[in-house]
Amino acid sequence: MRNLFNFIIRNSHWLVAILLVAFSFYLVFTHNSYQRSVYLTSANSVTGWFYTASDNVTSFFFLKKSNQQLLERNAALEKELYALRRDAGKHEAADSIQVEAFVADSVDPPQFDFIPAKVVNLSFSGVNNFITLNKGASNGIKPDMGVISQRGVVGVVSNVSPNFSVVIPVINPKFRLSAKLKNSENYGSISWDGKNIRLAQLQELPRHEPFHEGDTVLTSFSRIFPKNLIIGYVSETGVSGDDNFNTFNIHLATDFYTLQDVLVINDLFYDEQKALEENLQK
């Protein structure tokens, strides 16, 4: 008996180590991107503070590039605005007689509201990539909102604390999104194989679908993103596990290496649509 006690006392550090490792594995396996606690992620305020402080320094180096992108985006929007104005002008001329009494609002209520946010941290060295933003619940951000950059889709909000939020980006194996090629309506699914952060994979697209290198890949039906947002461009055909479907590598439109500013999409009709659809499932 005494020998047993001696043995336990002499080796108790192993016991401690085993307990701690067991606890760590418990964390690994119960860690779920949809229901994890804010305290054990970078959305908590202490880690958020460190990341903000570090970003204040590093964002300075990207100012030039960010400016350039903003200018380009501005130019594109301006062009679109003029095109729309001209178009609107034509309509005005065509039906100058309108029954004003029935028109409650001059413009339809917008479906999407955009919340600008800054990236305070970005991890893409491993397979568990994520992005931390400097806005959270107090700015109206909720889990499951879509996030886009000036170039294209970035990811989906997964965790929110009062002042920070964590985004699961396209370049995370947990990310799934339905997508289609620009000139068709057949849709496939976007995922990431963990190899290259510039390339994602478009799978399950029917084989008869014609395609060319450089074709634009857009969002399809999704509760999270508006339709026809740019995801990326077809770069090459990949290996497909199934004869009936094609798999492509797509070059992501968003450059995650220099990502600084993003927009969080607030779908004002999200709750309404969700309630309606869930109603049906009951």
Partner 1 sequence: MKLSYLYEIVLFVFLILLQVLLLNRISLFGLATPVLYSFYLLKLPMGRNLFFVILSAFLMGLIIDIFLNTPGMNAAAFTIVAALRKPVMNLFFEKVEYDEFVPGLNTAAGPFVRFTILMVFLHLTLLFFIESFTLFNLMSTLLRIVTSAVITILLIITMDSLMYRRKASEHT
Question: Is residue 52 involved in binding partner 1 (CB under 8 A)?
Answer: no
Residue 123 contacts partner 1 per CB under 8 A: yes
CB atoms under 10 Å from CB of 181, counted, come to 23
DSSP-derived letter for residue 110 is P
Nearest distance from C-beta of residue 243 to partner 1, angstroms: 22
Asked whether 170 and 254 are in contact (CB, 8 A), the reply is yes
Reduced to 3 states (helix: H, G, I; strand: E, B; else coil), residue 86 is helix
For partner 1, give the closer residue by CB, 161 or 219: 161
Q: Does 65 bind partner 1 (CB under 8 A)?
A: no
Counting contacts by CB under 8 A, is residue 47 touching partner 1? yes
Say whether residue 8 binds partner 1 (CB under 8 A).
Answer: no
Does 17 participate in binding partner 1 (rule CB under 8 A)? Answer: yes
Q: Which is nearer to partner 1, 34 or 269 (CB)?
A: 34
Q: Could you say whether residue 200 binds partner 1 (CB under 8 A)?
A: no
Helices then strands, each counted (H, E), the chain: 5, 12
- Phi, psi angle pair for 194, to nearest 5°: 85, 5
Token pair for 192: 């990431």
CB-neighbour burial class of residue 156 (10 A; exposed 0-12, middle 13-18, buried 19+): buried
Nearest to 39 by CA among 151, 110, 31: 31
- Cα-atom radius of gyration of the chain, to the nearest Å? 24
Output the six-digit token pair for 54: 């570090």
With binding defined as CB under 8 A, does residue 141 bind partner 1? no
Site for partner 1 contains 120 (CB under 8 A)? no
Q: Please, which residue, 123 or 138, has the CB nearer to partner 1? A: 123
Binding partner 1 by CB under 8 A: which of 59, 115, 118, 124? 124
Count, residues near partner 1 per rule CB under 8 A: 39
* Rounded least distance, CB 98 to partner 1, Å: 54
DSSP state of 79: H
Which parts of this chain interact with partner 1 (CB under 8 A)?
A: 13-14, 16-17, 20-21, 23-29, 31, 36, 39-42, 44, 47, 50-51, 54, 122-128, 130, 166, 173, 193-197
